[in-house]
Amino acid sequence: MVTAIVGANWGDEGKGKLTDMLAEESDIIVRFQGGSNAGHTIVNEYGKFALHILPSGVFYRHTTSVIGNGVALNIPDLFREINGIVERGVPMPKMKVSDRAQIVMPYHILFDEYEEERLAGKSFGSTKSGIAPFFSDKFAKVGIQVSELFDEELLREKLESVCVQKNILLEHLYHKPLLKVDELMDTLREYRKMVEPYVCDVSAYLYEAQKQGRRILLEGQLGSLKDPDHGIFPMVTSSSTLAGYGAVGAGLPPYEIKRIVAVVKAYSSAVGAGEFVSEIFGDEAEELRRRGGDGGEYGATTGRPRRMGWFDAVASRYGCRVQGATEAALTVLDVLGYLDEIPVCVGYEIDGRVTRDFPTTASLKKAKPVYEILPGWRSDIRGITEYDELPENCRRYIEFVEKELEVPVKMVSNGPARHEIIKR
Ligand code: GDP
């Protein structure tokens, strides 16, 4: 049985918390896309953690954490993260790293920085983790696979060819120091030492695990609106954020992904530039930002203040649909308890016409939000464990959201901690 847990919005929906929770009833947790560019925040008995590359199930003794072939693997980041949690008392996680995962090279990170610098004000707001240059190389077929770390001759040949091309850009476009093959070989030898004990044919491992009836959880990073195909192009990430990609990025049959939990935020937040129809500004935004998440809405990787907005039903319904969500989990609902009235964006007005369908970016640029105002519940709902005990207006909000999403809301999260969840 394979479950996927994915974001329906811009990311930062609280997937980390939900994954940590669902991991309790899973055997294997797999990261299938993205890299160490975004962060998940998890609060549990060991403390508060920001994970970037480790699957959120690493805190349990009974789970195996897997880095699938679809991940942009930053090996030093992975080991820094493992050491970081072990130092804080978490048992050494059982890890597997796909032999088909490709490696984020130091030059990917440099190129990310140099390109942001070159684009200056027109940049994509990259986290400068090397993700876009990494995926460019992967699809240009000049990336380096984990399996290739074990063949020095091939590695050197590959690096020699890579350096010729990269050094032309470094010299003439960016005016930066050139790459040296010997230094890169040394780095890759270090990487090999770090990763060797964990290298695994992940697809075969998961095939066997499935035959034995083990429960597999696919953990997505970011959200639908950051998908390179279905998201708000070009303000997207470089690998698919959709559950469907879980089949590719982990090496599983697509029809085995039976349960797809889309995490939907009770309000909106986004980082970086890009279209955001229900965005709010000024004091109104500042108050929501300050009260949001667990200690405010600031990026887990960059610390940047997140852009804030009201719940966007148009974007979230679309976000659930492209995920193929079989259910939704509504998060951070407790945060809205201070409001008398809560606006919800139910339509986009584009050129004088109102639509409920999420458009492509050019139309999105022209879209103005159409709001419906729901009454607030003016109380703290943290600590409530039964749906029926929620204030009536809070239930009305959830039911309104559910109707708009066209997907059943089966879980409601009313606090950052692992067990602050109401099941319906
Ligand atoms: P992710 O990348 O989707 O895992 O999201 P982040 O971890 O970046 O952002 C979610 C933030 O909200 C974190 O600080 C969580 O601890 C926090 N959080 C998650 N669920 C809830 C919730 O139901 N209520 C509150 N107040 N905070 C939550």
pLDDT tens for the chain, 424 residues: list them: 999 999 999 999 998 889 888 999 999 999 999 998 777 777 888 988 888 999 988 989 999 999 999 999 999 999 999 999 999 999 999 999 999 999 999 999 999 999 989 988 777 667 789 999 999 999 999 999 999 999 999 999 999 999 999 999 999 999 999 999 999 999 999 999 999 999 999 999 999 999 999 999 999 999 999 999 999 999 999 999 999 999 999 999 999 999 999 999 999 999 888 999 999 999 999 999 999 988 899 876 677 899 999 999 999 999 999 999 999 999 999 999 999 999 999 999 999 999 999 999 999 999 999 999 999 999 999 999 999 999 999 999 999 999 999 999 999 999 998 889 999 9
CA of 294 to the centre of ligand 1 (A): 6
Ligand 1 centre distance from Cα of residue 171 (Å): 43
User: What are the catalytic residues?
Assistant: 12, 40
C-alpha closest to that of 2 among 202, 216, 198, 166: 216
Bridge partners, 27 (sequence order): none
Task: Pick from 41, 335, 336 the residue to mutate for probing ligand 1's pocket: most ligand atoms within 8 Å of its CB.
Answer: 41
Can you give the pLDDT at residue 300? 66
Q: Name the pTM for this structure.
A: 0.94
Supply the residue whose CA is at minimum distance from atom 28 of ligand 1: 416
- pLDDT given for residue 301 in this prediction: 65
HEC string of the chain equals CEEEEEECCCCCCCHHHHHHHHHCCCCEEEECCCCCCCCEEEEECCEEEEECCCCCCCCCCCCEEEECCCCEECHHHHHHHHHHHHHCCCCCCEEEEECCCEECCHHHHHHHHHHHHHHHHHCCCCCCCCHHHHHHHHHCCCCCEHHHHHCHHHHHHHHHHHHHHHHHHHHHHHCCCCCCHHHHHHHHHHHHHHHHHHEECHHHHHHHHHHCCCCEEEEEEEEHHHCCCCCCCCCCCCCCCCCCHHHHHHCCCHHHEEEEEEEEECCEEECCCCCCCCEECHHHHHHHHHHCCCCCCECCCCCCECEEECEEHHHHHHHHHHHCCCEEEEECHHHHHHCCEEEEEEEEEECCEEECCCCCHHHHCCCEEEEEEEECCCCCCCCCCCHHHCCHHHHHHHHHHHHHHCCCEEEEECCCECCCEEEC
| Non-local CB neighbours of 165 within 8 Å, separated by 6+ positions | 142
Using the mean position of ligand 1's atoms as its centre, give its distance from the Cα of residue 10 in Å: 13
pLDDT at 374: 98
Separation of alpha carbons 83 and 81, rounded Å: 5
Q: Ligand 1 pocket, 12 CB below 6 A? A: yes
pLDDT at 160: 97
**Pocket of ligand 1 contains residue 16 by CB under 6 Å:** yes
Closest CA to 159 of 99, 105, 195, 100: 105
Q: Is the peptide bond before 133 cis (omega within 30 degrees of 0)?
A: no
Tell me if 39 CB under 6 Å of ligand 1.
yes
Q: How far apart are CA 302 and CA 305, in angstroms?
A: 9
Expressed in angstroms and rounded, the spacing between residue 296 Cα and the centre of ligand 1 is 10
Is residue 17 lining ligand 1, measured as CB closer than 6 Å?
yes
**Residues facing residue 368 across a β-bridge:** 349
Q: What per-residue confidence (pLDDT) applies to 120?
A: 83
CB 43 less than 6 A from any atom of ligand 1: yes
Q: Which atom of ligand 1 is nearest to the CA of 16?
A: 4
